[in-house]
């Protein structure tokens, strides 16, 4: 019986000699010019190479993720990211609205479209201490508030959150949207300019017109200022203001500049016109009658001369102007809202001054 032979593991120096001999062994392929790499060294090299490639890939992915996150934060800060907001948290009276009349049929069509296709254009809001204030999208918000009674899925609305606040940018955004989506009437354009100036957003009505309708022609802005004057003088009495045609509004503005405000207000006070046409008839009759009465017969029938005093801007917003005629003085405050007590104090100061 053969005697078993005990195997002894080689030491480190023996292993190194084996590897060096393997590396020096000529290749079996005479055309192979590369040296043969020991298996252990080959595995170690491949592993290191793969680890290096993985590190590069990870770094590229990390850089891409960091870039995407930065762009996301920038877009969110600029109000370019759509957020779902509870309609109960949105104040629709955050700024004064420019549109006076809502079309019931158009609102029904909007609700049907939202129900079938969803909201295609998010509303715009600004952050407030109590939640959010509506900048643009009044009709869309109204539609959601009507639809939420049918389904809780309309309790939240897509919105862009801007940092505009209730300043000039908010009014410009609202007007621009309505000009594109549903063209404003001449009167509504003039009215929103007066309201924005009255809230101190713009120093004067003229400045408000230039900012809100900056893309319009000079002639169009002039018409807006004329309708703004109509709103300032007669807005509280007009029952069909949006029905005023361009021609009628410009005629009224001219009459107001000529000092016929008292006659026009008298014609509207207590009147109950059935429609815009009959209301304009009352105003037209008053203008024609006033133009006849105010002629000074002692001066050969020439019209009454009116001297206009240059407008003066007030430090806290608004402007004062005056018109002097042969039989009176008319002072006008534009772009500011004052109460009855303040008006009484102003009259007392004038009375003391003129004695």
Average pLDDT over residues 279-290: 81
Confidence bin at 168 (pLDDT 50/70/90):
low
Rg of the chain, C-alpha, whole Å: 40
Where does the pLDDT of residue 284 fall: very low under 50, low under 70, confident under 90, or very high at 90 and above? confident
Please give the average per-residue pLDDT across 297-301, as a whole number.
45
pTM of the model: 0.48
Instruction: Give the pLDDT confidence score for residue 157 in this predicted structure.
Output: 92
What are the extents of the domains in the chain?
60-165
Q: Does residue 200 surpass a pLDDT of 80?
A: no
DSSP 98-148: S-----HHHHHHHHHHHHHH--SS-EEEEEETTEEEEEE-HHHHHHHHHHT
pLDDT reported for residue 293: 47
pLDDT at 327: 67
Q: Residue 290 above 60 pLDDT?
A: no
Q: What is the CATH number of domain 60-165?
A: 3.90.1530.10
Residue 86, judged by CB atoms within 10 A of its CB (0-12, 13-18, 19+), counts as exposed
């Amino acid at each position: 019986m053969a005697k078993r032979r005990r195997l002894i593991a080689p030491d480190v120096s023996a292993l190194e000699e084996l590897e060096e001999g393997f590396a020096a062994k000529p290749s079996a392929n005479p055309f192979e010019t590369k040296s043969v790499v020991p298996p252990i060294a080959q595995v170690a090299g491949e592993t290191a190479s793969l680890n290096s490639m993985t590190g590069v890939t990870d770094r590229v992915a990390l850089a891409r993720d960091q870039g995407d996150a930065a762009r996301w934060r920038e877009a969110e800060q600029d109000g370019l990211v759509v957020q779902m907001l509870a309609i109960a948290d949105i104040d629709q009276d955050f700024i004064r609205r420019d549109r006076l009349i809502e079309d019931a049929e158009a609102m029904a069509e909007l609700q049907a479209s939202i129900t079938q296709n969803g909201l295609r254009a998010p509303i715009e809001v600004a952050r407030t201490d109590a939640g959010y204030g509506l900048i643009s999208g009044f009709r869309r918000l109204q539609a959601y508030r009507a639809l939420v009674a049918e389904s809780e899925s309309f309790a939240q609305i897509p919105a862009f959150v801007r940092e505009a606040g209730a300043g000039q940018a908010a009014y410009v955004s609202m007007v621009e949207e309505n000009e594109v989506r549903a063209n404003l009437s001449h009167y509504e354009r003039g009215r929103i300019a007066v309201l924005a100036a009255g809230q101190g957003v713009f120093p004067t009505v003229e400045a408000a017109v230039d900012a809100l309708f900056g893309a319009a022609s000079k002639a169009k802005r002039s018409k807006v200022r004329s309708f703004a004057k109509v709103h300032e003088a007669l807005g509280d009495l007009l029952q069909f203001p949006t029905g005023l045609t361009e021609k009628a509004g410009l005629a009224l503005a001219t009459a107001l500049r000529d000092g016929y405000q008292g006659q026009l207000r008298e014609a509207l006070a207590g009147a109950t016109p059935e429609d815009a046409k009959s209301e304009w008839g009352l105003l037209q009759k008053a203008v024609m009658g006033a133009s006849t009465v105010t002629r000074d017969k002692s001066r050969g029938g020439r019209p009454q001369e009116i001297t206009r005093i240059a407008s003066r801007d007030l430090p806290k917003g608004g402007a004062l102007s005056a018109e002097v005629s042969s039989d009176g003085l008319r002072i006008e405050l534009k772009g500011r809202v004052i109460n009855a007590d303040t008006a009484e104090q102003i009259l007392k100061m004038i009375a003391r001054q003129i004695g």
